[in-house]
Chain A
Amino acid sequence: MEGMIIPNSKDQHATILLMGLRRGGKSSICKVVFHNMQPLDTLYLESTSKPTTEQFSSLINLSVMELPGQLNYFEPNYDSERLFSNIGALVYVIDSQDEYLNALTNLSMIIEFAVKVNPKIQIEVLIHKVDGLSEDYKIDAQRDIMQRCGDELLDLGLEGVQVSFYLTSIFDHSIYEAFSRIVQKLIPELPSLENMLDNLVSHSSIDKVFLFDINSKIYVATDSGPVDIQTYEVCAEFIDISIDLDDLYIENEENNNNNNNNNNINNNSNNNNLLNNAQNITSKSKELKSISHLSNGSVLYLKQMIRGLALVALIRNENQISTSNNTNINETFNEILLKRSNNDEIEKSLTIIDYNVDLFKDSLMKIWKTSKLIK
């Protein structure tokens, strides 16, 4: 994996290239999204001096390559030509808390070259570090950046090029949302995945379902209902909770090594450990499954799929009286027990969901097999 800058051309759709000026936040994004680093710990990151690559494997092979930001003297040459011809998406990071005019010039130059080499390349721009900005300034900055970028491309005669913009920060879930949408565009099977998830939802009491990449918490697909940030976060965190508990009771050498590390789930800064977890989980024969009943009648449901993916769903109990939403704090113990014994309905729907999720997993395996054949 190390040192491999030019990806295998067979995987071209699956490769994301992360670029941007120095200190824009590229390394931080990689560490936070793909290595579970705590956002605050990125303060201690050293400036990137070598191109690095990251790989993560979900339904497709995705690798994120990060080039150091110092390439503002960017000179097209043979290598960069090969580089751009082999990637699916170019993600350019702009530091919104800094003077960004230089970045915009740099960006349009890169776009000009990239599109020439690879007309199908997706151009994605992260207007990054927006956590420090007020709501008003955020909107203004976005409008200004989009406007200027459009103007520059117009000057270069590239008005047809599609550029997508995202407001992001590593301090909240916006960076995951942006990456999820970027990755999804690279998955040719996305429409069928979404279809299958919609099917799952319409045949059961599922309220929202995500197909997650376990390691990064990027969602590879979701049903067509709107994504609510809270629901996304709770579902993503449910994966960590399940894996962390499971890992405490794995009796093997590896685990003993992990015990020495003082890692914990408040600051999941221990990269190796988490990588181990992700590897453990994919290599284990038995699939992880977890279910939790909540006081508002909902149920959280997780089932491990193939290739480091997990399906996580929020199931609503339709029989629940909606006024009971906030009473849980003062709810008496007897009320809890009573509610739980009335739960036959939801147990039945869980059985149906189990069955349908198994079907979904089968289809997923089929899709993966055929998509491999295409390559």
Chain B
Amino acid sequence: MSYSRKKLLLMGRSGSGKSSMRSIIFSNYSAFDTRRLGATIDVELSHLRFLGNMTLNLWDCGGQDVFMENYFTNQKDHIFKMVQVLIHVFDVESKSINKDIEIFVKSLTNLQKYSPGAKIFVLLHKMDLVQLDKRLELFTIMMDKLQKISNPYNFNLVGFPTSIWDESLYKAWSQIVCSLIPNIDVFNKNLLKFNEILDAEEIILFEKTTFLVISSTASIKQQHVQSQEELDPKRFEKISNIIKTYKQSVSKLRANFYNLIIKGSNKNFYLDVLTENMFIMVVLKSQQQQNEELLILDNIKNARKWFEKIENEN
């Protein structure tokens, strides 16, 4: 089994929120807990196992000018070599946009030189501080501007509006992480196959520690989903957020959870361990079927081997 290492650079000015998002997504912090974070000194490295045989090397690069200066001079090859993903965080309330952009351009310059194949994600962060009806406009204007800046360096930006105070953070990070999974199509295909058996409304796969969405039946068969349109399009990241909150909640009892079964008002939910690295959620129309619970949990158990194999093929 070959391990694949992915280097992710987390860049942006000091106070833009890099360490906050890292702590929420990967260390089970609540948004409140981030107020305790101090400024990051130099680079903070974390190594995270993801889906079995993938390791994410996350480089949280402290954004104070003294450190930044170093990244672009003495340390530039050390920092910018072998990068798979650059995540550049902008504080939307920043008072010094020119300086923010200057840093961004320097990152692009170095990345083009040392890792021209890297993907770039831009997070326009702290969106909660912007009035609700101004968010979209601001996002579009800023992304346009940043893309124009990036064109000479041959990078295509993928942008997200984010905030630690809502589920938007989960959407961005789900997509960042999914872009790194080589056999994501195999997951998708098998999830569809599994649904031929279950005939569920929806099935969703989550990574076990972050609860980021890896795959879902709805996102695969987007083309013919008239009936789905009525559902909340943000539901995936909202579920990640809710489950993460639940995880924090039960940690007060010094415990984690194994499963969560909700017989809701018109849907039933089965959240269960699928493999060593994944949780699965099955959503069914509730039809008072007597042995539904046994049936679903049994099927999940049977699907286990199937999905374990895919994980290991990575």
Contacts and interface: CB of A to CB of B under 8 A. Distances in A.
A230 interface: yes
Band of interface residues on B: 35 or more
Contacts of A238: 246, 249
Given A237-B249, A251-B231, A286-B265, 5 more contacts: A251-B266, A255-B232, A264-B166, A292-B259, A333-B275
Nearest to B135: A262
B156 interface: no
Contacts of A248: 231-232, 235, 238-239
A241 B242 contact: yes
Contacts of A281: 265
A298 B235 contact: no
A326 B256 CA distance: 10
A270 to B, nearest CB: 11
A234 B249 contact: yes
B265 A340 contact: no
A73 to B, nearest CB: 40
* In the A-B complex, the 9 residue pairs with the closest CB atoms: A246-B264, A333-B276, A290-B262, A296-B255, A284-B265, A294-B255, A237-B249, A264-B166, A292-B260
B283 interface: yes
A295 interface: yes
Contact of B232 (A230, A259, A286, A329): A259
A251 B230 contact: yes
30 contacts: A231-B253, A233-B252, A237-B245, A238-B246, A242-B262, A242-B264, A244-B238, A245-B242, A245-B262, A246-B269, A248-B238, A249-B201, A249-B231, A249-B269, A251-B230, A251-B266, A252-B230, A255-B232, A259-B234, A265-B245, A266-B164, A267-B166, A286-B263, A288-B263, A288-B264, A289-B262, A293-B257, A293-B259, A294-B255, A329-B256
A14 B209 CA distance: 46
B261 interface: yes
A290 B267 CA distance: 12
A9 interface: no
Band of interface residues on A: 35 or more
Contact of A264 (B132, B201, B238): B238
Given A245-B269, A290-B263, A340 B239 contact: no
B258 A293 contact: yes
A330 to B, nearest CB: 11
Nearest to B245: A265
Contacts of A245: 239, 242, 262, 264, 269
Contacts of B276: 333
Contact of B262 (A280, A288, A326): A288
B30 interface: yes
A250 B266 contact: yes
A291 interface: yes
A325 interface: yes
B234 A241 contact: no
A328 interface: yes
Nearest to A236: B249
Given A241-B242, A286-B286, A249 B249 contact: no
Contacts of B252: 230, 233-234
A363 interface: no
Nearest to A339: B258
A70 interface: no
Contact of A250 (B261, B262, B263, B265): B265
Contact of B241 (A231, A258, A264, A295): A264
Interface in B165-184: 165-167
A66 B263 CA distance: 38
Contacts of A224: none
A280 B265 contact: yes
Contact of B253 (A263, A265, A293, A294): A294
B263 A289 contact: yes
Nearest to B259: A293
A266 B165 contact: yes
B232 A290 contact: no
Nearest to B234: A259
